[in-house]
Amino acid sequence: MIRRSNGPATVENDMTPMIDVTFQLITFFMFVLNFSEAEQDERIQLPVSQLAKPAEGVLETPITMQLTADGGVLYAGEVVPVDQIDRPLQQEREIIEAAGKDPKQATVIVRADGRASTGDVQQVIRICQEEGFERFALRALYKPE
């Protein structure tokens, strides 16, 4: 029996595995992506330090306070005067408590502009302590010798 071909056979590729792998890669990179840059603001120019070291591990409950050079704190995209950050901190504490966590275990990350007043940094830390936060991390740029 002889078979005759009617022309080239058309082969349709099944794209399902390719799409599946693509979605898995996207999901993988979303989990691995470092969102710490999302907490940064270009208006804050961190001071340079040779003693600065990278954070050890991932912070479970971070709260980022960014001090500007003129004495304000960037919170939720708006500049709030240092002496008025107690209300946003109360909101943060309420959110943490609603999640069933202890505010004392939260870490307040202070990103102060290199030109910001040391007194403003101390005032932010004092207000945070009054609101029940006890852990702090100061951010600076590491510059080796």
- What digits encode the pLDDT tens for the residues 101-116? 888 888 888 888 887 8
State the pTM of this model. 0.63
- The arrangement of strands across the sheet holding 107-112 comes to 78-81, 72-75, 62-67, 107-112, 135-138
C-alpha–C-alpha distance, residues 144 and 60, integer Å: 29
C-alpha–C-alpha distance, residues 136 and 141, integer Å: 17
The pLDDT confidence band at residue 22, using thresholds 50, 70 and 90, is very high
* Residue 67 · residue 114 · CB < 8 Å: no
pLDDT score for 53? 64
The pLDDT confidence band at residue 126, using thresholds 50, 70 and 90, is very high
- Give the closest residue to 82 by CA, choosing from 122, 55, 139: 122
Encoding tokens for residue 107?
A: 């870490």
pLDDT, one tens digit per residue, over 31-89 is 776 555 445 666 666 666 656 666 666 777 888 888 888 888 888 778 888 888 889 89
